[in-house]
A = this chain, B = another copy of it.
Amino acid sequence: MGDNRPIGIFDSGIGGLTVLEEIHRLMPDERICYLGDTARVPYGSKSKETVLRYTLNNVRFLKEAGVKIVVVACNTASAYALPDLEGHDDPPVIGVIEGGVEAASKSLGGKIGVIGTEATIKSNVYQQNLERLRPGAQVKARACPMFVPLVEEGWTGNQIAQAVAEEYLAQFKGTIDTLVLGCTHYPLLKKVIGQVVGEEVRLVDSAQETALLVKKRLEKLNLLCDPTGQRPDIRFFVTDSPKRSMEVARRMLGNIEINEAEFVDIV
């Protein structure tokens, strides 16, 4: 007998839908319950205390919604709040950093770049974990605060995206073999990031890595659902602006159909 409760996912906004997409691709029968905290977005420029408070709030909502696991699909929340949540096992909580770190630690030459929000980079969590998993690695990190607004404006391939990427990433050219995209919005800028750092640099997309880890964890805990072969129930909750969130979600998600964004008052 499988466990047919939904997988819970939350992000500060809609960026975490890149994680939802990968989880759905990998486990197409699983029900999903996604929460975007659009009333308080973004987290990346806020303090540890505030991000922790918002995160606990979101976890509580998902728990009450009856999920079997919580995926923190936000790098900032994972960086700041996960150490406080990792002991948690009812439901278990998993972040987006672990997967990215594991994948990046396999870097051929051990020259690894990390990009993320101001908060994520300031937390040093990627840098510390990479140095632990891959002793001797040379890790270079850079906050890229303009990348999220670029994605939200839909400017992912124009000359402005190009110029912003140049400004942040020129320092990585020729000096790294692997670059961790440490924010759920960044995969949408993959093309322009790749052009600037060089096509030979491996880009680690934590969404894909995290989906793999979630599957492993569910298997280990014997929490996978029964295969149904039917289109599963995917619910999309937001704390503000359901209509606008739905528009952005449609732009972001190619193949997944979500019926509507439901407003939820937890703030």
Contact = CB atoms under 8 A, between A and B. Distances in A.
Interface string A79-112: 0000000000000000000000000000000000
A259 interface: no
A3 interface: no
Given A46-B38, A50-B240, A159 B149 contact: no
Contacts of A160: 146, 160, 163-164, 167
A152 interface: yes
Contacts of A50: 39, 240-241, 267
Closest 10 CB pairs of A and B: A149-B149, A47-B241, A50-B240, A160-B163, A39-B50, A47-B240, A46-B240, A146-B149, A145-B153, A146-B153
Each complex incorporates copies of this chain amounting to 2
A63 interface: no
A216 interface: no
A40 interface: yes
A247 B40 CA distance: 22
Contacts of A155: 146
A167 B158 CA distance: 11
Contacts of A149: 145-146, 149
A248 to B, nearest CB: 10
Contacts of A41: 45
